[in-house]
A and B are shown apart, each in its own frame.
Chain A
Amino acid sequence: MADELAPEVKKTERWGSRVGVILAVAGSAVGLGNFLRFPGVASQHGGGAFMIPYFLALVLLGIPICWAEWSMGRYGGKKGLHSSPAILGVIGRGRWARYLGAIGILIPLVVFFYYSLIESWCLRYVWLYIKGGMDLGADAGQFVAHSGDVFSKVAASDANGLFRGESLSASGFWVAVFIMNMWLVYRGLTGGIGKFCEWAMPAMALCAVIVLARVLTLGSPPAAAGRSVADGLGFMWNPRWEYLAQPETWLAAAGQIFFSLSVGFGVIINYASYLRRKEDVALSGLTASATNELFEVGLGGMITIPAAFLFFGALVAGQSTFGLGFNTLPVVFEYMGPAGRFIGATWFFMLFLAAITSSISMLQPVKAFVEEALGVTKGASAIIVTAACAAGALWVLYFSKDLVGLDTMDFWAGSFFIVVLATVQVILFGWVFQLGRGGSIFGARRSMHEVNSYGLIRVPGLFGLIIKYVSPVFLLAVLTSFVVKDLGGKLTELGEKPVALATVIFILVILALIMVAIRVGESRWRAAGIDIDNEIDENDGALS
Chain B
Amino acid sequence: MTESVTAAIDGLSGLGLGIMIVSLAGVVILLIWCYAKILTAPPPPDHDDE
Nearest-Cβ distance from residue B39 to partner chain A, whole angstroms: 7
Q: Does A456 belong to the interface (CB within 8 Å)?
A: yes
CB-defined interface of B6-50 with A at 8 Å, one 1/0 digit per residue? 011111110111011001101110110011011101001111011
Could you tell me if A233 and B46 are in contact, using CB atoms closer than 8 angstroms?
Answer: no
Q: Does A497 belong to the interface (CB within 8 Å)?
A: no
Residues of A within 8 A of B24 (CB): 297-298
Nearest-Cβ distance from residue A339 to partner chain B, whole angstroms: 14
A298 to B25, CA, bound (A): 9
Q: Does A234 belong to the interface (CB within 8 Å)?
A: yes
Could you tell me if B19 and A237 are in contact, using CB atoms closer than 8 angstroms?
Answer: yes
Q: Which of B1, B9, B45 contacts A230 (CB 8 A)?
A: B9
Residues of A within 8 A of B35 (CB): 19, 287
Which secondary structure characterizes the binding site on chain A?
Answer: helix
Which secondary structure characterizes the binding site on chain B?
Answer: helix
Question: Which of A91-99, A113-121, A217-225, A328-336 has 4 or more CB atoms under 8 Å from chain B?
Answer: A217-225
Could you tell me if B28 and A298 are in contact, using CB atoms closer than 8 angstroms?
Answer: yes
A-B contact pairs, 22 of them (CB 8 A): A12-B50, A18-B38, A18-B41, A19-B35, A55-B23, A216-B1, A229-B7, A230-B7, A230-B10, A230-B11, A233-B8, A233-B12, A233-B20, A234-B12, A237-B17, A238-B13, A238-B15, A239-B19, A278-B49, A280-B41, A297-B27, A457-B37
Interface size on A, residues (CB 8 A): 45
Could you tell me if B8 and A216 are in contact, using CB atoms closer than 8 angstroms?
Answer: yes
Question: Which of A288-296, A381-389, A418-426, A535-543 has 4 or more CB atoms under 8 Å from chain B?
Answer: A288-296
Nearest-Cβ distance from residue A23 to partner chain B, whole angstroms: 10
Could you tell me if B34 and A280 are in contact, using CB atoms closer than 8 angstroms?
Answer: no
A12 to B47, CA, bound (A): 13
Q: Does A48 belong to the interface (CB within 8 Å)?
A: yes
Could you tell me if A219 and B4 are in contact, using CB atoms closer than 8 angstroms?
Answer: yes
Other A-B pairs, 10, CB within 8 Å; known A239-B16, A277-B44:
A14-B50, A18-B41, A216-B1, A229-B4, A229-B8, A230-B8, A230-B11, A239-B19, A280-B41, A456-B41
Interface size on B, residues (CB 8 A): 35
Residues of B within 8 A of A213 (CB): 1
Residues of A within 8 A of B31 (CB): 287, 290-291, 293-294
Number of A-B contacts (CB under 8 A): 118
Q: Nearest residue in A to B49 (C-beta to C-beta)? A: A277
9 nearest A-B residue pairs (beta carbon): A230-B11, A238-B16, A48-B19, A287-B34, A237-B16, A219-B4, A237-B20, A230-B8, A279-B44
Nearest-Cβ distance from residue A83 to partner chain B, whole angstroms: 19
A276 to B43, CA, bound (A): 10
Residues of B within 8 A of A442 (CB): none
Binding site for B on A (CB under 8 A): 11-12, 14, 18-19, 22, 47-48, 51, 55, 213, 216-220, 228-231, 233-234, 237-239, 276-280, 283-284, 286-287, 290-291, 293-294, 297-298, 301, 306, 454, 456-457
Which one of B7, B45, B46, B49 has the greatest number of beta carbons of chain A within 10 Å? B7
Could you tell me if B15 and A48 are in contact, using CB atoms closer than 8 angstroms?
Answer: yes
Could you tell me if B7 and A228 are in contact, using CB atoms closer than 8 angstroms?
Answer: yes
A213 to B5, CA, bound (A): 9
A220 to B8, CA, bound (A): 10
Residues of A within 8 A of B9 (CB): 230
Residues of A within 8 A of B50 (CB): 11-12, 14
Which one of A228, A290, A293, A306 has the greatest number of beta carbons of chain B within 10 Å? A290
A330 to B50, CA, bound (A): 50
A280 to B28, CA, bound (A): 22
- Knowing A230-B11, A238-B13, A283-B34 are in contact, say whether A19-B4 is a contact too (CB < 8 A): no
Nearest-Cβ distance from residue A94 to partner chain B, whole angstroms: 27
A47 to B20, CA, bound (A): 10
Q: Nearest residue in B to A49 (C-beta to C-beta)? A: B19
Nearest-Cβ distance from residue A107 to partner chain B, whole angstroms: 27
A213 to B4, CA, bound (A): 10
Could you tell me if A234 and B13 are in contact, using CB atoms closer than 8 angstroms?
Answer: yes
Q: Which of B11, B27, B44, B47 contacts A233 (CB 8 A)?
A: B11
Nearest-Cβ distance from residue A53 to partner chain B, whole angstroms: 13
Nearest-Cβ distance from residue A180 to partner chain B, whole angstroms: 28
Q: Nearest residue in A to B25 (C-beta to C-beta)? A: A298
Nearest-Cβ distance from residue A34 to partner chain B, whole angstroms: 12
Could you tell me if A47 and B27 are in contact, using CB atoms closer than 8 angstroms?
Answer: no
A233 to B9, CA, bound (A): 8
Could you tell me if B19 and A276 are in contact, using CB atoms closer than 8 angstroms?
Answer: no
Q: Nearest residue in A to B29 (C-beta to C-beta)? A: A290
Residues of B within 8 A of A293 (CB): 27, 30-31
Residues of B within 8 A of A47 (CB): 16
Could you tell me if A294 and B16 are in contact, using CB atoms closer than 8 angstroms?
Answer: no
Q: Which of A287, A306, A454 contacts B44 (CB 8 A)?
A: A454
- Knowing A219-B7, A277-B49, A278-B44 are in contact, say whether A238-B1 is a contact too (CB < 8 A): no
Q: Which of B7, B13, B19, B26 contacts A220 (CB 8 A)?
A: B7
